[in-house]
A and B are shown apart, each in its own frame.
Chain A
Amino acid sequence: NAGVTQTPKFQVLKTGQSMTLQCAQDMNHEYMSWYRQDPGMGLRLIHYSVGAGITDQGEVPNGYNVSRSTTEDFPLRLLSAAPSQTSVYFCASSYSRQGSDEKLFFGSGTQLSVL
């Protein structure tokens, strides 16, 4: 059971470049989300999705786009990377929010540097 898989693990971009961080889960989770982790800031929610075709913004959505065409995949797109987007990115998923055992399962993270 792979759980939540994120790719790539490391990425270096130049300012203005675009890229997509991939996230896939094989647990049939309805809920998927993206967080960024910065020193002293904890984990901040970027975007989340409660099912295929449904996405919404979190605390820090600017500069990022998402889509959810399938239950399994939830890619995060940076259209024009900026140095302020240098961070560690985590994808997370969970069962329905109504479940009694609901908790977030995290991917292993992507370390992104924007020069």
Chain B
Amino acid sequence: AQKVTQAQTEISVVEKEDVTLDCVYETRDTTYYLFWYKQPPSGELVFLIRRNSFDEQNEISGRYSWNFQKSTSSFNFTITASQVVDSAVYFCALGSSGTYKYIFGTGTRLKVLA
């Protein structure tokens, strides 16, 4: 069975601190896809990144970086020098090539305090 676990329900940090959001996944598929989505207070879901299972390269985009480790089935997300605008709920998701289902974690609410 596929599963995505985001153990951190809520995290509060002070502006300019670095913060890492954890994501652990379970799947028996050899080819799969991992995603991060952001849901700001306005409620829409914003795509941040997609990573394929055969590509373990870490990625950096501005203040955002992602660490994908197949050995630990983790796809963690780090925000460097956090800002108030980063306050949102962040979802990790898993999709497999063998099915057409995307499974989401329960989300981590990040609060960045000024």
Interface size class of A (residues with CB under 8 A): 20 to 34
Kindly list chain B residues whose C-beta atoms are within 8 Å of the C-beta of A42: 6, 91, 104-107
Instruction: List chain B positions with a Cβ less than 8 A from chain A.
Output: 6, 9, 33, 35, 37, 43-45, 47, 50, 91, 93, 95, 97, 100-107
Ranked 7 nearest A-B pairs via Cβ: A42-B106, A43-B104, A106-B45, A42-B104, A103-B47, A42-B107, A103-B50
Q: List 21 A-B contacts (CB under 8 A).
A: A33-B102, A35-B104, A41-B106, A42-B104, A42-B106, A43-B93, A44-B104, A45-B101, A45-B102, A48-B100, A56-B100, A59-B103, A90-B45, A92-B102, A97-B95, A102-B33, A102-B50, A102-B95, A104-B93, A106-B45, A108-B43
